[in-house]
Amino acid sequence: MNECFNSLSSKNIKSLTSTSSDNIWIGTDEGLLELNLSNGKIMNRSDNHKLLNVWTVHKGSNNNLWIGCYGEGLKELDLTSKKIKSWNIKPEGIVSTAFDYVKTIVEDDDGTVWIGYWGGGLIRLNSISGKIEHWRSENKKENNLSYNDVWVLHKDTKGRIWIGTNGGGLNLYRGAKYNDFYLFNQHSDEKHRINSNSIYSICESVFGNNERNKTILWVGTSNGLNKMIINDVKDFGQHEIPVIEIKHFTIKNGLADNNIYSIVEDFNGDLWMGTGSGISLLKTKDEKFINFSYSDELNKNVVNSNSALRLEYGTILFGCLSGLNFFIRKE
């Protein structure tokens, strides 16, 4: 396995996902790569005519892979035929190249595709009908999307969609009843304040959360880590904010760096974070940090934003500007 990972040392790895225990899909600025762990083979699955600059990859629910590209917009890969479809998504009445720059993608429980753009805001796509709904930041509209640079999307275990922006804080979609957003930023009231408006990564605690009526989100920003404990209400009232506690962590608490680009949870419920200065491991039970620096044989390159993956057998991967950092689970 080490040989497979080491063979990627020259690649700028921007995104990672898996479609089985043996197959890892890797987004790079030189195409979409498929790594088969059982035989070590790496195949470039980009279009035949050009190499895609892939920013994000997301496993779909219909034997497909959603691909977000720099300059090429949204693509969809059929995992059986390995053929790529291009989606031409252009909101009516808006002329902009921003919709060619897809930064993040997530599918919701209905199979609808949410797409975050660099400068284009947020789009919800019905991939069967082709119908889209578009949100963008408008200063005069209350409860609208806070910022047009959408850096990370996350669907939590309750089906809620969280939208992290690079400059406008964290948004929570309030569902079809209201069709708008809550905003958490560094200017919110003290109980609902996060420590930066630049959101780089979101990770939900699965193995470290023993309370059924609460959700724990870990939010990585340009100014440290936020632990958000969310009250699991199904219907948000006009003034009811479903967050009951936010706790902040920075270098003062032991983080290696305040820039938290990627987060992944291990089977113990502990957090592995790719930062601007190496890897930080947070032991969540006692809230203690263990930092791994370049002297610990790490890849001496910055971890990319939202580029981390836990494999089925526990190995942790981080995508970097040149290759991977990986931590193999020991029994």
**203 — phi, psi (to 5°)?**
-135, 130
Asked if residue 126 belongs to a domain, the reply is no
Asked if 87 and 157 sit in the same domain, the reply is: no
Which pLDDT does position 58 carry in this prediction? 97
Asked if 244 and 285 sit in the same domain, the reply is: yes
Asked if 249 and 165 sit in the same domain, the reply is: yes
Asked if 269 and 215 sit in the same domain, the reply is: yes
Q: Tally the C-alpha atoms within 13 A of residue 88's C-alpha that lie toward its C-beta.
A: 2
Asked if residue 202 belongs to a domain, the reply is yes
Which pLDDT does position 5 carry in this prediction? 67
Asked if 74 and 144 sit in the same domain, the reply is: no
Q: How many domains does the chain have?
A: 2
Residue 228 contacts residue 243 (beta carbons within 8 Å):
yes
Sites in the chain below the pLDDT cut of 70: 1-6, 47-50, 139-140, 233-242, 294-301, 329-331
| Closest to 179 in 3D by CA, of 95, 122, 246 | 122
Asked if 200 and 76 sit in the same domain, the reply is: no
* Domain termination residue (choose one: 56, 77, 111): 111
Any idea what the CATH number is for the domain that residue 237 is in?
2.130.10.10
Asked if 318 and 251 sit in the same domain, the reply is: yes
Asked if 223 and 317 sit in the same domain, the reply is: yes
Asked if residue 165 belongs to a domain, the reply is yes
- Cα separation, 162 vs 178, in Å, equals 15
Instruction: DSSP for 81-149, please give it.
Output: T--EEEE----TT---GGGGBEEEEEE-TTSPEEEEEBTTEEEEE-TTT--EEEE---TTSTT--S-SB
**2 — phi, psi (to 5°)?**
-55, -40
Asked if residue 40 belongs to a domain, the reply is yes
Asked if 152 and 25 sit in the same domain, the reply is: no
**215 — phi, psi (to 5°)?**
-115, 140
Asked if 102 and 201 sit in the same domain, the reply is: no
Asked if 141 and 103 sit in the same domain, the reply is: no
* Domain termination residue (choose one: 111, 146, 176): 111
Which pLDDT does position 323 carry in this prediction? 86
- Cα separation, 68 vs 116, in Å, equals 9
Which pLDDT does position 139 carry in this prediction? 63
Asked if residue 224 belongs to a domain, the reply is yes
Which pLDDT does position 243 carry in this prediction? 73
Q: Tally the C-alpha atoms within 13 A of residue 38's C-alpha that lie toward its C-beta.
A: 4
Asked if 63 and 100 sit in the same domain, the reply is: yes
- Cα separation, 233 vs 69, in Å, equals 35
Which pLDDT does position 294 carry in this prediction? 65
Domain that holds residue 145: 137-331
